[in-house]
Structure 1
Amino acid sequence: MSKRVAVMDLGTNTFHLLIAEGMINNYHEIAHDQEPVKLGEGGINKGYILPEAFERGIKTMQQFQEQISVNGVQQVRAMATSALRSASNGRDFINEVKAKTGISIEIINGDQEAGFIYDGVKISGCLSTQNSLIMDIGGGSVEFILGNADHITWKQSFEIGAARLMDLFHRTDPIPPASIEALDVYLQDNLTDLFSAIEGHDLDTLIGSSGVFESFATLIETEKGHSFNLKTTPTYSFDHEELLIETNKIVQSTHLQRAANENIIPVRVDMIVVASLITRFIIHKLAISKVLMCTNSLKEGVLAGMLD
């Protein structure tokens, strides 16, 4: 009888719960929940979880525990990433969750996070024998992994997530050209390790792992009048020109325009702007012509280890 497991990815913006059973290459999803906790709201660059966000996080973990109990889960892993890693009261949050739910949260470092993201993308089958650059844009950090279907060549996590960049650069809406310029300079200064790692490697593809890349794909397809379902589209190949046009539209849009678009989930309404700018920066800087979206990410990577 197959084991039923639960994985939680406790991100800066969103807490995810995935309950599944079976074999990793053919698992059955029992439950998949995501809650817009916004743990980093108002405090992400101060290194502190504000009381309202702290409370939202605790309530969500209690809801997750109820689902875990109802579904008879045998093994649980809860992974905390950038916001809890860097918050001075992150340990208080972990202790309170343990006391109220019995769930033990593991704080993983950026290197471990990048490794799990690679494992998640790998089981989707979208990696080839050629080198690809995987990019996962989170609220607190952005992970880059250079590798192929066989192995990782290099990986690193950078504390330049969308919530942090929004707090630093996106204070006026639409975002002004001077802020875009300042953001580009900031990325140029903070991603020198990435540029060094890429040097001398032929890059086949940029693979955007879940999150905002799911929004890009959904927006592009629905604007063409096509129905688009992420559940049945685990990978998606972007038309290069369409992606650049879409990200440009997002950057020039207002908050009200984005909020009125049902294809942008509420937690991404504002962060999608800086996420679009990071994506464009990487495409131009590294002269990338092929971009894929993969719905798998950290939680599927953790799941792979639990079901293997």
Structure 2
Amino acid sequence: MTNRKAAIIDMGTNTFHLLLVELNAENFKTIYKEKIPVKIGQGGISNNIITNAASKRAFHTLGHFKNLIDGEGITDIFAFATSAVRNAENGLVFVSEIKIKFDIDVHVIDGDEEAQLIYEGIRFSGALDDSTHLMMDIGGGSVEFIIGNHKEAFWKQSFEIGGQRLLDLFHYHDPILDSEVVNLNSFLADKLQPLINAIELYRPGKIVGASGTFDTLSDMYYESIHGKKRVQELAFQLPRLGFESLASQLVSLDKSARLQIPGMIPMRVDMIVVATCLITYILQYVSGDYLICSSYALKEGAISRLVKADSLTSAITN
């Protein structure tokens, strides 16, 4: 049986990801991947709208993605939209325009499904074992938390407190003011009470961060110790002390200085301050000497389902 090709489009609030893959019965091979900082939530997320400027950036990027998909002769396209689109009053209009312009069906997923796909992606990376982990994925619009191990998720919830929302609400000065961090922490204490209750119940001993901010933090850490990530590795350890050192830098520097930190990338430089404050807040409740940074998240969760479906089809036909 010829291996099937598929395209995954993850339309996040901050970043659009394209992943072109070839599937086999147990895993997948990446043909091509690209991420573009579309920032679809910028200028409208606090008012629950997608602005005209954000729509234009999205359409331009999707046109580029569609050309790449067509160039590979791929017809199986799995497109997901998350927080910015699901909460936007004009989200359905936006999705229908994508169908008309590009013949791409966009699945607008709710927070629960987003958390489940992120869990499946992290599990697919091999970052989990028998012990109980707290997993988190910091998006531009929402943050997903999952508590579980490599066998199952015990608890999961999505919170609409993503980086773009926190940026709009609290990060008015650069560097961020101490008073803004205090206000942010007070907000988190209020919004994240269900998570804190779940942590007390399940007592996770390890913390796993999925892609995005955690990729950048681990890149910065490896640069700081003059180390190199091995390309084939899917999960990296970020020592807690290494994170704390980076966090103190990030909250004390302005944007131009943050950009000079080795490993920092421009698409993360704005949101990484509030994201770091969020991680620091969560670390009060979870012990452990290091954070695990998983390269896999939502889009790889979708691929894991496709791989399982192909494996099942292969088992039935054979």
Shorter-chain TM band: over 0.9
Structure 1 residue 288 displacement after superposition: 4.5
Q: Distance in 2 between matches of 1:74 and 1:115?
A: 25
The structure-2 alpha-carbon separation of the partners of 1:294 and 1:304, relative to structure 1 and needing over 3 Å to count, comes to same
Q: Distance in 2 between matches of 1:146 and 1:288?
A: 15
SS in 2 for 1:146: strand
Under a length normalisation based on structure 2, what TM-score does the superposition of the two structures give? Answer: 0.93
1:291 corresponds in structure 2 to 291
1:249-264 alignment, distance < 5 Å: 249-261=249-261, 263-264=263-264
CA contact under 8 A between 2:224 and 2:262: conserved in structure 1? no
Q: Distance in 2 between matches of 1:116 and 1:98?
A: 23
1:274 corresponds in structure 2 to 274
Q: Distance in 2 between matches of 1:124 and 1:11?
A: 20
SS in 1 for 2:13: coil
CA contact under 8 A between 1:39 and 1:49: conserved in structure 2? yes
Q: Distance in 1 between matches of 2:289 and 2:263?
A: 25
Q: Distance in 2 between matches of 1:253 and 1:80?
A: 33
1:173 corresponds in structure 2 to 174
CA contact under 8 A between 1:3 and 1:74: conserved in structure 2? no
Q: Distance in 1 between matches of 2:45 and 2:285?
A: 27
Under a length normalisation based on structure 1, what TM-score does the superposition of the two structures give? Answer: 0.96
Structure 1 residue 203 displacement after superposition: 1.3
SS in 1 for 2:202: coil
The structure-2 alpha-carbon separation of the partners of 1:24 and 1:196, relative to structure 1 and needing over 3 Å to count, comes to farther
Q: Distance in 1 between matches of 2:203 and 2:183?
A: 29
User: Are 2:215 and 1:211 equivalent residues in the alignment?
Assistant: no
Q: Distance in 2 between matches of 1:219 and 1:24?
A: 36
SS in 1 for 2:151: coil
User: Are 2:197 and 1:196 equivalent residues in the alignment?
Assistant: yes
Q: Distance in 2 between matches of 1:10 and 1:248?
A: 31
CA contact under 8 A between 1:212 and 1:275: conserved in structure 2? yes
Structure 1 residue 267 displacement after superposition: 1.6
How many residues get paired?
307
1:17 corresponds in structure 2 to 18
Structure 1 residue 190 displacement after superposition: 0.2
SS in 2 for 1:200: helix
Q: Distance in 2 between matches of 1:88 and 1:265?
A: 32
Where does the alignment leave 5 or more consecutive residues of structure 1 unmatched?
none
The structure-2 alpha-carbon separation of the partners of 1:17 and 1:290, relative to structure 1 and needing over 3 Å to count, comes to same
Q: Distance in 1 between matches of 2:235 and 2:26?
A: 15
1:302 corresponds in structure 2 to 302
CA contact under 8 A between 1:145 and 1:155: conserved in structure 2? yes
Q: Distance in 2 between matches of 1:88 and 1:80?
A: 14
1:1-308 alignment, distance < 5 Å: 1-23=2-24, 25-228=26-229, 231-261=231-261, 263-308=263-308
Q: Distance in 1 between matches of 2:212 and 2:25?
A: 21
CA deviations 1:101-135 (Å, max 9, x no partner) are: 00010100000000000000011111111110100
Look up the equivalent residue of 2:18 and give its one-letter code.
Answer: L
Q: Distance in 1 between matches of 2:187 and 2:180?
A: 10
Structure 1 residue 16 displacement after superposition: 0.4
Identity of aligned residues (%): 36
Look up the equivalent residue of 1:281 and give its one-letter code.
Answer: Y
Following TM superposition, the consecutive aligned residue runs of length 4 or more in structure 1 with deviations greater than 3 angstroms are 285-290
SS in 1 for 2:167: helix
SS in 1 for 2:198: helix
Q: Distance in 1 between matches of 2:177 and 2:288?
A: 26
Q: Distance in 2 between matches of 1:227 and 1:195?
A: 35
SS in 1 for 2:123: helix
Where does the alignment leave 5 or more consecutive residues of structure 2 unmatched?
309-318
Q: Distance in 2 between matches of 1:232 and 1:249?
A: 29
